[in-house]
Amino acid sequence: MKFEVYDKAKWHYESKDMPNELPEIAGATHIAFFVRWCVENDLMSREIEEDCAEELQQIKDKELDCRDFFFNDMDGVLTSNELNTKGKQFAAAYYHSDKTKFAKKFGYYLADYVNWLKNKLGNQYNPDTSYFYVENSEANYNEIKEICDKRFSEFEKG
């Protein structure tokens, strides 16, 4: 598979919409949720598994904020290099584009994330800034995890 950049934290924290009062890490919560889901589902590359075994276990044990791992060990960038073959296939089909065959049929991560946030916030949803304020909590992650689990199941069914 070709090299692909799925998302970069700086695309978000350097955007004009990023609220000044928030730290850069707030621009990466949505990416870290997806990375954590990949970690928990053994979709990381062999290199990441070997180089970061301790950190991956800490993420699985809920001892390490995946945003910290994403910034410190992945340089704030999610690419195909960080994922194994199945992870690359899923991310290429689902993560950032509505143009894939899978996304046209089922949806894609960033749209699912925005829809989740709209449902969660209702009238308080702001399309420009709301996702920067998402709390990096177990409850929020578990809701995103359910969405990713569903999409991965759809992906595996073909």
What pLDDT sits at residue 98? 85
Whole-Å CA distances, 121 to 19, 126, 133: 18, 9, 11
Cα 20 from chain centre: 22
Kindly tell me if the per-residue pLDDT of 86 is higher than 90.
yes
Kindly tell me if the per-residue pLDDT of 96 is higher than 90.
no
- Read off the pTM: 0.96
Q: What is the pLDDT of residues 97-136, one digit of tens each?
A: 889 999 999 999 999 999 999 999 999 999 999 989 999 9
Kindly tell me if the per-residue pLDDT of 84 is higher than 80.
yes
Kindly tell me if the per-residue pLDDT of 1 is higher than 80.
no
Length of the chain: 158
Tell me what the mean pLDDT of segment 133-153 comes to. Answer: 98
* Residues forming beta bridges with residue 5, ordered by sequence position: 79
| Non-local CB neighbours of 106 within 8 Å, separated by 6+ positions | 94, 151, 154, 155
